[in-house]
Amino acid sequence: MPPQILATAVLLQTLDGVSDVEAVQELRCDLRWKAACGLGLHDTAFDPSLLTYFRRRLARSTRPAGSSMRSARSSPKPACCAAATGGHWTRPCWTTR
């Protein structure tokens, strides 16, 4: 799995406040998550343990870019998801979280 997709999934996971399992489920079912990650309609997701592995590798990274994911909570909301809601990040109306 390309690291760009994993990084985007971790960012969306942080913004939505969901677990690894829930994040992969969103990636499989939510078209907004698929679009943000650059996946096609019929592309498959990955095992939730890959998110844990990716975060662990990112935390151990000595490159400055590795520390940028630690501040994901303070980053702006994705424009692709906020545009339709007047600039506000919202969960889909069919979720109960």
Domain count along the chain:
1
In a domain, 96, yes or no: no
In a domain, 37, yes or no: yes
**What's the CA dihedral at 36, 45, 12, 5 to 10 degrees?**
-60
Each residue's pLDDT expressed in tens, for the chain with a length of 97 residues: 899 999 999 999 999 999 999 999 999 999 999 999 999 999 988 999 999 999 999 888 877 554 455 554 455 555 555 544 555 555 554 454 5
In a domain, 91, yes or no: no
**What's the CA dihedral at 95, 47, 40, 36 to 10 degrees?**
60
Q: What confidence score (pLDDT) does residue 66 get?
A: 46
Q: What confidence score (pLDDT) does residue 36 get?
A: 94
Q: What confidence score (pLDDT) does residue 1 get?
A: 86
In a domain, 93, yes or no: no
Q: What confidence score (pLDDT) does residue 58 get?
A: 87
